[in-house]
Amino acid sequence: MLLDKTILELAAGLRSGEFTSVDLVNECYDNIEKYNPQVNAFITIIPKEVALKNAQEVKLNSPLSGLPFVLKDCFVTEGIKTTAASKVLENFIPPYSATIYKKLLDAGAILVGKMNMDAWGHGGSTENTDFGVTKNPWDTSRVPGGSGGGPAVAVSARMAVFAIGEDTGGSIRNPAAWTNTTGLKVTYGRVSRYGAIAYASSFDTVGPVAKTSEDCAVILETIAGLDNLDATSSPKPVPAYSSLLDKKMSEIVIGVPKEFYQDGLDPEIKAAVLQVSTELKKSGAVIKEISMPLFDLCLPVYYLIAPSETSSNLARYDGIRYGHGRDCFTDETTRRILIGTYALSAGYYDAYYKKAQQVRTLFIEEYQKALSQCDILLQPITPNNPPKFGELLSDPLQNLLADIYTVSQNPVGVPSLALPCGFTKSGLPIGAQIVGKMFTEELLLSVGHQFQKTTNYHLQKPKL
């Protein structure tokens, strides 16, 4: 299957004439026709004739030229429906495009679909959607993670070469762990957020979901960089990530924060994640146990600041501009709006929102201290295996706890790479994340690449 190849292998094959972009698009649509009815990953499928026309006309001017990709449906696309998986935007056709989409089109990539998600990014399972739940291709009775379940499922089931997601508190990494894909939460500001429908503006990041760390490196070279339309985007130069993947592991110190491996972490996940450190040690890395005592505060800080920002961001959806009113919000979205509005209200602002921002500053110091003792941190992504449908919806607290290992990085702004690292006895995927200092994506991608050179977890596919 062509879609099993890496991006660089596909680029080489296209240039040599071994196959064409039309072949890739046809294979994508064959898989969409075969698998999407089982998993419901797409909200909008681009008409096949449109994708084929783009494939026939493509000029091979970048490694992404001619490659079919998908977008989480939180990125506005001129002339193509964009819903954020909410009935509020059920018929919204944007008049402009997100920077990320324009960059990929300029690189010659071919959009084949807009993907399902938890509405507005609110959830960790892709069940809080108004367009039908997305199912995990490894076990269709289970959730694929969220909020970006659709993009991860598309890559896992080979319905696209790569996907673009948005990570506010684990929305790329959580589904990557549960679908056996590789996903990158970038440093805040590394990739433009212009045209991304906001969840929590000071946490939101845009990044790739793909089969390998090398694929993520190639994609990041194209999508990263300063954007004059996004005042929070960084002017730092963009490294040639894909040519920096062979760093010697003997120079790397990997910190293992003990607080991330205590009660509440599934034993199989704990063993698989710690096995990553064993593999990297074989490659010459130094493993060092460290402490991050503020870990217990990450959930309350995240779930005060993020809902506060979302209550502000969603105020514009009043039924006048976009057609549908706020009565169309899901229960989870309503819950987060109420929490955020309460935290920002007179008499409670100092006690909740302001206090959470103060602890956020302590988190930044905590990560700085931890990363002064090592080069990267090895952490779990999820505490449990993918739940069956309804388990998280029936218990809102469990829904929040699904993010416990992924919500501390976004308030700090540091990058994190999610890697497949094993399977449970029942055959469900397990993921680990490696976290680095701000703007050290090249280090994370290099470590991920070295790990994937000595393991084959990332090569396994679901048997739909």
Q: What is the DSSP letter of 238?
A: P
Beta bridge partner(s), residue 209: 163, 183
Instruction: Take residue 82 and report the two structure tokens written for it.
Output: 């964009």
Which of 21, 97, 125, 171 is an active site residue? 171
Instruction: Take residue 236 and report the two structure tokens written for it.
Output: 């730092």
Chain centroid to CA 39 = 18
Which of 65, 86, 97, 147 is an active site residue? 147
CB 363 within 8 A of CB 87: no
Instruction: Take residue 370 and report the two structure tokens written for it.
Output: 């931890």
- Is 372 designated active site? no
- Is 147 designated active site? yes
What is the distance between the alpha carbons of residues 242 and 190, in angstroms, rounded to a whole number? 16
Q: Say how many C-beta atoms besides its own lie within 10 A of residue 376's C-beta.
A: 25
CB 140 within 8 A of CB 66: no
Walk across the sheet containing 429-436 and list its strands: 42-45, 110-115, 68-72, 162-167, 205-210, 182-185, 416-423, 429-436, 376-380, 253-257, 286-290
Which of 21, 72, 87, 416 is an active site residue? 72
- Is 171 designated active site? yes
Chain centroid to CA 114 = 15
For residue 425, how many C-alpha atoms fall within 13 Å in the half-sphere facing its CB?
Answer: 4
Beta bridge partner(s), residue 208: 164
- Residues designated as active site: 72, 147, 171
